[in-house]
Structures are given as C-alpha cells and as structure tokens.
A and B are shown apart, each in its own frame.
Chain A
Amino acid sequence: MSAGPRTNDLTILIANVNGTGSASANTLLMKSLFRMGIPVVGKNYFPSNIQGLPTWYEIRVTEDGYLARSGRVDVVVAMNAETYQKDLDRVVAGGYLIYDSTWPRASMLTRDDITIFGIPFAKMCNENFPTARIRVLMKNVAYVGAVAALLDIDLDIIRDALNRTFASKANLLDANSLAIDLGYNYAKEHFDCPLPFFAKSMDKTRDHIMIDGNTATALGCMYAGATVGAWYPITPSTSVMDAFTALCEHYRKDPKTGKRNFCVIQAEDELSAMGMVLGACWNGARAFTPTSGPGISLMSELLGYGYFAEIPAVLIDVQRCGPSTGMPTRTQQADIMSCAYASHGDTRHVLLFPANPEECFYLAVKAFDLADRLQTPVILMTDLDIGMNDWMCPHLEWDDSYVPDRGKVMGADQLEKIESFHRYLDVDADGIPYRTFPGVHPKGAYFTRGSGHNMYGAYTEDRREYQQVVDRLRLKWETAKEYVPAPAVDYSKKYRVGIISMGSCDGAVREARDRLLESGVGLNYLRVKAFPFNDDVQKFLDAHDRIYVVEQNRDAQLRGLLTLETRVHPEKLVPTLTYDGLPIHAWDVVNAINEDMAAGAAA
C-alpha cells in the first residue's frame, strides 16, 4: 500500500474473547464513524459459543460506500493472546497492531514491516475500576478511546453516543467516559496521532441507518400485518423473532386492555413451527417462521403439504454454513437447492433473495403478498451476513396507502351468491383457485388434504383428476413469474460478458466490477431477486457469451438452478464461488474472473 496519508479508506480488525462484552464497544466505534458521515461496513466473526472462544469484529471505513468487507486489514487491535500470532499475520505491510502491554509480549511474535503499539489496557483498568467484571468491560471501551486518537475519530461524537446509551445510568456513563479518556490520552501521549491513514468527517451517511437484516425482516413482518409467528430458536435466525416480539410488544398491544394483537409461539421443533404457520394461514392470518438450513430440512414435510394443499406461508431462511449442523455462526448461501425443491414429489417453492437489510424489509412485506396471492409458501432467503451484521442502508420508507394483497379469498357475501364453492377450480385460468376461511359461511367449507384430490377438492386416485391438479399447479408456477420481483439489471450493449449473482454477494460484485473496469474489463450484471426466474433472466442469459455466476456455496447452486430452469447452455455459466464461511469480498470475485479470463486467453 502506498505510504502517503489517506482518509476514510481503511479496515480495523478487533480480536477479542467471546463473552467479554466487546460487542457494545465495537458498535460504539463503528457508530461513531458512521455519525461522522463516513460509510462503514461492520462484520462480526463470532464462534458458536457463549464464553471463551475467539471472536473478531471488523470495521471497514469506505468513503466510496462499498458494502462488502475489504479483504485486507490495516489495523489490528489484538486483545486475545490465544489468536495473537494469527492476528499479527493478518496485518497488511505498513499497517499497525495494538496490543495490551500489561503483560510482556514474546519477542518472537513480531514483524518488522508493520508498527506495533503496546498499550497497558488491563493495568490502566485495574488501577481505575473496582470490580473484575467492570475492568474486563472497560478494557474494551479503552481500546475504542485509543483507536479514536490514532484514527482521529471525533471524541465529541463518542461522548454523545455514550450519553445517549447511558442516559439513565450515571455510574456507567462515568465509567465509560473514563475508559475512553484512558485509551485516548495514552495513545496521544505515546504515539504520533493520527496514523498516516485516518478518518475525516464527511456527509455520506445522511438519510441512512445502520441496521441488521433480522431486525429489518422483523419490521417487514410487522408492517405486513403478520399476527402469528411460530419458531424454534436457531442461529442465526433467532434475532428475527426477538426483534418481532420486541417491536410488537411496543406497537401491537391493545391500548385499552394491554392485550396482544399478535401471537408468538415458541414451538417444540421446526416441524411444529411449520405446522403452526400453515394452520394460522389456512385460518386467515398472516403467519411466518424464521429458521435456518437445519430447520428447513425439518420443515420440508409440511412445505410439500403447503405447496400441494395451496396454503400461504412465509419462511425466513437465514442461511448458515452447512451441511448438517455445519458452522452455525458462519455465513453461506447453500440452501438454494434444498429450498427451491423442498419436500418429496414434484414440489417447487417461491424464493426471494434480499441483498441487504433494506431489501429484507421490503421483500418481507412482498413475501406475504406473494404467499397470499399465489396461495403457496414463500421463502425469504437471507443469510447470516445480512441477518446478523449491521449494514448501512437508506432510511426505510413506508407508503400508508399500502393495502395487503390477500389474493383470491371468497367472503360470506360472494359465497351467498354462488351455488356451490369448489376449492381447486381454476376459475380465472391463471392456475390460482379461490379459497375460503373457516367459520365464514357454510357454503365455503372444504376438506383440506395432502392426499390426492381433484379440482373440486374431493379425494381421488383417478389418474386424470390427479394430473389435472398437478398440471394446474404448474400453470400457477408460470403465473408466479408475473408477480415475483424482477431482477436488478445493469446492462450495456458494449459487453458480451456478464455476472449473475444474488443476495449478500451484491456488495462484493459491485465493487469487483469497479476494480475490473479500472483494468479495462467491463461486465454487465444481473442480480436475481426471486425464483421462479422470469423472462428478464432468460434475456440476460441469451445476451451474453460468458457469465460468471457468483455465489457463496461449493456446489454452484444458483448456477445449477439456472441450468435446470432456463434454456441456457451450461458451458456459458462459470461457477465463481466462495464457501469458507466468511462473507465474500470483491477480490474473491476479481481474482476468479481474472484467472478465468487469463486461462481463456491462453487457450
């Protein structure tokens, strides 16, 4: 990296021990940069553990507003002796490492191409704070102070953040303020501050928020009018229901009676959670369940039921590393295939792919509309990176004229007028029949079953009657293409090479395109937002000679789905994959594409 001073383009990595309360200190650091008007990216790399294992938090300061991690580390705050060697190795040449110099550091653990600063965090905290727990906590706050001095972060903004957080807890406010000062003053007195790269206030975060995808999803569920949420706790989806419950406790209670206008049920397992969602939706509510890959496996049985009996349902799959239990606290996009065709027999499910928390909010609402309109389960495919990290997003907007699309539901008045109601009759020739809710009208009654049924809803084993129903379901799938969100396309006639991607790859892909363009390689870009794929996807596939399919799984599942569900020649589609459990960054994409192009040129 060049030695000259640079602003607002750097990455800090904080290495810590799980369970020491570092999360709030790290958030304080990131939020302070954000409030200085500088775009930031925060990534939490945490273990599946309550206390003791190593954990890292990465903050990228990016004036260009990139959304992926940078793939490099300029400053390490090494607070965990166990990972010290590894953390030391990560720093880019010319970078900095800060460690706790309370204890002597082995002389062999050093590098001469970086600068190492020792700050006696533990010693300072032991001298200034009374109890063991507060000393551990304040060590974290003290490094925020030190980093603030080294990177020239506005101290007033940090103090303001502390005032807001601890408005009602004066003793905690005092302790935190003191810890900030300890770190800040030590750095100012002992080192040249700021470093050659530092933060500088700008105005690029106005009208933006920092929010995690799970919270944004929960907001979407509340705004869509969901009343029943059934779930079984599973990382990394748990905070969806935590947030939904907290929001509803605030905004969904009857002001007069204090009673809840929502029902959250913690089920005994995911099979049950899925059953509850189907039961609630069948009876007329909007219901959802947040889960992750292992939960989808268990829900598959009832997902097939929902498909065949045509019951709306909204699932949120916050994907994590598989297979099996996999790595519960690492990210991946490896449930694409299992969700698209979940359950035995000819089943297929509508999937939505939000790229960030902002889209989690809007697509969560969309998921309920689609589920009701298409009378089928819809799965919102997020992942751990989107769900559990704070992302910078534009303010979420809401249009008060929004009316939920409940689809084709016959009420008492309509039932009164017709001679007889038949649940699975394709009245409108679009594959979508009419449904009724229990208790509304005697004429609306029908028997819902997962066994073979004919278009009138009666049990059948007749080959023609059965086939009529499954063929009509296929027609409904075609109709779904008109309703699902179209892909985001950035196309220029100049280019014959493109990228197709989805979900949380978006930030890395957009940044990679900038880097590639700088080296003279222009690529078009299509980001799928939904399955089934609509015509825009086919057009993009047809318009390119070579397409890199960027995704975060080993088996190129999106590419696989494209080859199965479109007319594309598979050889056109180049798998471009990361699947190590860490969020993808731009250089993963740039390097893979450069290598493929070099290989192509050599051949």
Chain B
Amino acid sequence: MSYIKKPKVIHPQSPRNELGLTVRDYEGGMSTLCAGCGHDSVTGAIVQAAFELNIPPHRFVKMSGIGCSSKTPAYFMSQSHGFNAVHGRMPSVATGANAANAELTFIGVSGDGDTLSIGLGQFCHAIRRNLNMLYIIENNGVYGLTKGQFSASADIGSTAKKGEVNQQTPIDPCRTAISMGAAFVARSFSGDRDQLVPLLKAGIAHNGFSVIDIISPCVTFNDHEGSTKSYEFTREHYHPVIQTDYVPPTQEIKVKYDEGAAMPIVLHDGSQIVLRKVDAEYDPTDRAKVYSYLEHCQVAGEIVTGLLYFDETRPEMHELSNLSDTPLTAIAFDELCPGRATLQKLQEVYR
C-alpha cells in the first residue's frame, strides 16, 4: 500500500463529465492492498467507467463480501453508500437492497473465494433471480489474507507459492454463470484497461445480472512460476474473442463496422453495446456453443476474454416479481397500511 495521500486538488483543465464532475469525484479512500495488486487496476477502471457513465456517485450502491477484493469498494466512489457484508453473503444483501429501491445502480465486488467457495450458493441464486447489478469477481486463484491457500478457481496442476500442486477441478465462474442462466457473462484481465472499461460500462447498463470475471493477479501469493493466475501466465495465454464498445444512449454510432463482424445490441435504456468479433465464428448469443467453447479453452489452458455471452431479453427480478415501478421505499405509508376500516372488515372471516 502507498502511504502518500493524494492531495484533493482538481486541475482546472481536468475533463468533466455531463454532470460537471471530474474523475476525482468518483475516487475513494486510499488502497491498503499490496503495491502492484491487480485489484487496484480494477478499482481504477471502475472509477473511469462510473465517471464516463455520467451517473452521480451517490446514486451508486457498492456491495462486497470478505477478502482483498471485497475491501476495494472503500477505494472508489467515497460519495456512495457501501456495504461490506460477511463472507460470501453479498448477493443476498444486494438482493434485499435492490428489492427496496431498484432506482439505484448496484456494483458488487467479490473474489474467487467469496464467490466460488463460501458464497457459491448465493452467487448462483442471485443469477437465477436475475438481480439487476454488476457483479465483479476479482479472480486471483488464491486466498491472500490468510496467506496463500488455493481457491476454488485454481487450475489443476497450478502450484502454490510453497510448491503444493492443486489437484481439484477448478470452478469456472463464467461457465457456472451461463449454466445458471446469466444473461451477461464477460471475462477480462486487470491489466487490460482498454477492454475492461467498456465492459464495466456495458455491465452496469445491462438490465439484469452482469458477471465480469476479471483475472487479477495476486502479486504476493500467486505471481510465481507454476501459477496459472500470474501476470506472466495471463499475458501469455489470454486472448480476446470479442471486443466490446459501449455507446451511450445519446450518442449515435459513428464508426462503421463490417457487416457480420460487428453486432450492435440496444439496451433497455437506449444505450448500445457493439460487439466486434475477433473470431468470426464466435456467436455470443448461442448459449450451448459458448459453453462448450469455454470448456474447450479451459482444457487447452487458454483464457478467452470479452463479453462471452449475452441475452438482453431475460427479465430482471422486479419484472419477474411484477413489482411496482415506484421504489418500495418511496411508497407512502398510507398506501401500505390498509387502515382501521379494512381491518374491521377483514376480520369477519375469523368470526
């Protein structure tokens, strides 16, 4: 961690978004993670994405569980409410918070231990409900705070810092999410900010549960030779299968994409995601094919990135539950309480 506090000075020429805010308005407290931690790069990308989306910081809600990744919501958007829940239970807390007031924008940050071990059940069920939130997994294959145990995302044959070899099958968050019915499934790398920022924006704009699995190396416990989640291994083995551009609602698509290779998708709020295929054969809307392709890549030791699977038609939790368009917290008590006369009348059946 750095001990030098950044002065809160805003340069007059700093770029401002449509709200007149600068990037600094989207920053948070100082990180206490190790120098070079992949998570800090993700934090930076979140700040940039939120700034570019022109959403007031206090209209975001930051959720997390326990672990290094789950500390990061303290390092971005200090003008947002944050909820650092207990280990693996962030999805349920986010579900309740979202049920109460869905007009806010929910960002959850979790890790591979928090999501794939202790919190696997809640992760799966939040997907089934299609909770409207961006769910980020900062995936480093290791338990950092308890000093280097394998997590459930560690690959077979990957070695721990002290030489132990992992023999258990890894849980792939992307394939898990697809099999649970997730409608927005992406993978990225903390070291690829150009890919990450538009993915984060698209994930926030998507109306439903958006999963982004971000390989985010642990410099202290899992960046050695033999690890399959190190910077070096990830740089050597990852390749984008699809590029993602995010186009806000007000902006027209100006770049002309080649027919067949580009795929503009209009989101519920009028914004668009434009997918450019690196591999012309890849179809991010064919669930079964995506699933088997990812399985094939995992066996081959390749890390494919980009918006891997997408389905804009699936209704999110509030639609599925036929909930009021007004946030439940904004409904007047008079409308919630049926009152004295009704109570008297409804008791007739108990006579």
Interface residues of A (CB under 8 A from B): 35, 209-211, 219, 222-225, 227-228, 230, 247, 251-252, 254, 257-263, 265, 267-269, 271-285, 287, 301-302, 305, 395-400, 402-404, 436-442, 444-451, 459
Give Cα A273–Cα B121 distance, bound, in whole angstroms: 13
Tally the A-B contacts, defined by beta carbons under 8 Å: 210
Judge whether B101 and A268 touch: CB under 8 Å: no
Decide yes or no: A225 and B337 within 8 Å by CB, A209-B347, A447-B73 being known contacts: yes
The one of B321, B329, B333, B350 that contacts A284, using a Cβ cutoff of 8 Å: B329
Give the residues from 26 to 81 in chain B that come closer than 8 angstroms, CB to CB, to chain A. Answer: 56-59, 61, 73-74, 78-81
- Complex CA–CA separation, A67 to B129 (angstroms): 44
Question: Given the known A-B contacts A301-B86, A447-B84, are A227 and B336 also in contact in the complex, defined by CB atoms under 8 Å?
Answer: yes
Least CB distance, B102 to chain A, in whole angstroms: 10
Interface code B73-102, partner A: CB below 8 Å = 1, 0 otherwise? 110001111111110011111111111110
Binds A, one of B135-143, B150-158, B243-251, B338-346: B338-346
Contact with A along B97-109 (1 / 0, CB 8 A): 1111101100000
**C-alpha gap A446/B94 in the complex (Å):** 16
Contact yes or no, B96 A276, CB < 8 A: yes
Cβ-defined contact, B92 with A438, below 8 A: no
Q: Which of A224, A260, A277, A442 has the most CB of B within 10 A?
A: A442
Inter-chain CA distance A395–B331, complex, in Å, is: 28
Taking the nearest CB of chain A, how far is it from the CB of B149, in angstroms? Answer: 21
A275 x B337 contact (CB < 8 A): no
CB atoms of B328 and A285 under 8 A apart: yes
Chain B positions within 8 Å of A451 at CB level: 84
Set A260, A268, A439: member contacting B81, Cβ < 8 A: A439
Does residue B16 face the partner (Cβ distance < 8 Å to A)? Answer: no
Partner of A285, one of B92, B94, B100, B104: B100
- In the assembly, what is the distance between CA of A451 and CA of B65, in Å? 11
- In the assembly, what is the distance between CA of A183 and CA of B339, in Å? 44
**In the complex, what residues of B have CB within 8 A of residue A444's CB?**
58, 81
Known: A285-B329, A445-B81. A279 touches B351 (CB 8 A): no
Give chain A nearest CB distance to B86 CB in angstroms. 5
**Residue ID in chain B nearest A262 by CB atoms:** B328
B176 at the interface (CB under 8 A from A): no
Chain A residue numbers with a CB within 8 Å of B343 are 219, 223, 396-398
B125 close to A (CB within 8 Å): yes
Find chain B residues with CB under 8 A from A276 CB. 92-93, 95-96, 99
Tell me if B253 is interfacial: C-beta within 8 Å of chain A.
no
Give B312-344 as 1s and 0s: 1 = Cβ < 8 Å from A's Cβ atoms. 000000000111111011010101111110111
> Could you tell me the distance between the alpha carbons of A241 and B346 in the complex, rounded to whole angstroms?
18
Given contacts A259-B322, A439-B61, A447-B81, list 16 more A-B pairs with CB under 8 A: A209-B347, A222-B336, A223-B338, A225-B333, A225-B336, A272-B122, A275-B90, A281-B100, A285-B99, A398-B340, A398-B343, A440-B58, A441-B58, A444-B81, A445-B82, A448-B84
Size of B's binding interface in residues, CB under 8 A: 59
Contact at A439–B58, with CB atoms within 8 Å? yes
- Kindly list chain B residues whose C-beta atoms are within 8 Å of the C-beta of A275: 85, 89-93, 95-96, 122
3 smallest beta-carbon distances between A and B, as pairs:
A279-B96, A275-B92, A276-B96
Which residues from chain B sit less than 8 Å from chain A, CB to CB?
A: 56-59, 61, 73-74, 78-86, 89-101, 103-104, 121-122, 124-125, 129, 321-326, 328-329, 331, 333, 335-340, 342-344, 346-347, 350-351
Task: Return chain B residues, CB-CB under 8 Å to A438.
Answer: 58, 61, 80-81, 97, 101, 104
Residue of B nearest to A215 (CB): B350
Partner of B324, one of A219, A224, A261: A261
Residues of B within 8 A of A227 (CB): 100, 328-329, 331, 336
> Is there contact, CB below 8 Å, between A283 and B325?
no
Q: How far does the alpha carbon of A448 sit from the alpha carbon of B331 in the complex, in Å? A: 25
- Return 14 A-B CB contacts under 8 Å, by A number: A251-B342, A261-B336, A265-B96, A268-B124, A272-B95, A275-B92, A275-B122, A283-B98, A283-B101, A397-B343, A439-B103, A447-B73, A450-B85, A451-B84
Q: How far is the CA of A257 from the CA of B318 in the complex (A)?
A: 14
Q: How far is the CA of A562 from the CA of B74 in the complex (A)?
A: 42
Bound CA span A47–B95, Å = 35
Bound-state Cα–Cα, A272 to B58, Å: 26
B322 touches A445 (CB 8 A): no
Q: Is the CB of B86 within 8 A of A265?
A: no
Measured in the bound complex, the distance between the Cα atoms of B94 and A282 in whole Å is: 10
B97-A260 in contact (CB<8A): no
CB pair A439 B336 closer than 8 Å: no
